[in-house]
Amino acid sequence: MMYSHKTENPRCLLYKRGVTPYLEALEWQRSLLAERVQNPQLEDVLILLEHPSVYTLGQGATLDFLKFDPQQTDYEVHRIERGGEVTYHCPGQLVGYPILNLRRHQQDLHWYLRQLEEVLILLLSIYGLQGERVAGFTGVWVEGKKVAAIGIKVSRWITMHGFALNVCPNMRGFQQIVPCGIADKPVASLAEWLPDIHIEQVREDVALSFAKVFGVHFLETENCGK
């Protein structure tokens, strides 16, 4: 396990929200990042929320992985500054946005990606599921099916964007894309193995796993967030 080896426990603000419009959350992340670029002493942040149905493409993503014309569609589609290809967000999927100063942790993007995977693998173990990495890809799989996608942006060692864990969403939206540009590996949700799973409990357990892996001390804020 690749947990942080820092002896101190940095403070981290924890925001837990429900379904939040994508562009609202994006603006919030950008504001938090800009504040921390200007003042690196500000606390780390973890935002846990859900989004209405929306498709997002990484800054270098190809449109070939969309099965519809983004110029002629009722779907909400945004190209953003994270890495990676197209992904889908919707209610029932837990999205985590860590705004971390990696100078407090480790200035290594490969390490950071593996840590995010470790958070989710640890979370899955709580529910008796074996989370796995797949060589050459970023994310977490269960029994060969991808249950979590990861895409990040880092500016001056401050992170934004993060991970999306399929807890109990309606998976039909994934049929309109090649998720993460990986055509030969199916996507799934935790509800496939745990039909009675609730996102509220998973949100609490993800926070616990994150605190353990990154060695942070949460200062929980009002759930309304901003």
The burial of 19, by beta-carbon neighbours within 10 Å (0-12 exposed, 13-18 middle, 19 or more buried), is given as: exposed
Q: Which of 12, 90, 168, 180 is catalytic?
A: 180
Token couple for 183: 């055509």
Separation between Cα atoms, residue 128 and residue 145, nearest integer Å: 16
Token couple for 75: 């779907």
> What length does the chain have?
226
Q: Hey, CA dihedral for 29, 32, 37, 38, is it positive or negative?
A: positive
Which candidate, 74, 79, 161, places its Cα nearest to that of 112?
161
Q: Tell me, yes or no, if 180 is annotated catalytic.
A: yes
Cβ contacts of residue 186 below 8 Å, gap of 6+?
Answer: 144, 145, 146
Catalytic site residues? 180
